[in-house]
Amino acid sequence: MTDQKIIDRIKKLLRMKNGGTAAEVATALFLAQQLAGKHGIDINSIDENEPDREPITHGGLESLSRLQWECKYAALIVTGYFNVKAFYRKFIQVQIIFVGTKTDIEIARYIPSFLCRCILPGNLSCYVRMVF
């Protein structure tokens, strides 16, 4: 298990002191201390009220042979308004790779195809498809 997963598990155990019976709270605190001691984590440095972070990942869009200006502009809009970064990759096909959390990438992968349909309705030059 990674350190982040262990810390998330300890946070969940520490949150038990907000509700539950006295025995459940005591058991949860004991398990949290035991888990922190096993992995060498200072239990006092963990803030159980801090929200869990979503891991950073990547996903992308693929174009036919070259990336049209509409798709580049849509990717620019996505990076400006959503929590993702866009990278362009030319391999066999041109790809736009988005880096961010899973939720943000799902939105970022949808927006360019939606915007391309709105910018030039009926134009097939802005063909993009989701990859990964």
Would you state the structure tokens that stand for residue 79, as one six-digit string?
């990076």
Enumerate residues 6+ apart whose C-beta is below 8 A from 75: 61, 86, 96, 112
Residues 35-62, mean pLDDT to the nearest whole number:
78
Of 84, 41, 43, 63, whose CA–CA distance to 76 is shortest? 84
Domain 56-131 in CATH 3.40.50.720: no
Q: Is residue 54's pLDDT more than 80?
A: no
CATH 3.30.70.1710, the chain: domain bounds = 56-131
pLDDT of residue 87: 86
- State the Cα–Cα distance between residues 82 and 129, nearest whole angstrom: 20
Kindly report the pTM of this predicted structure: 0.51
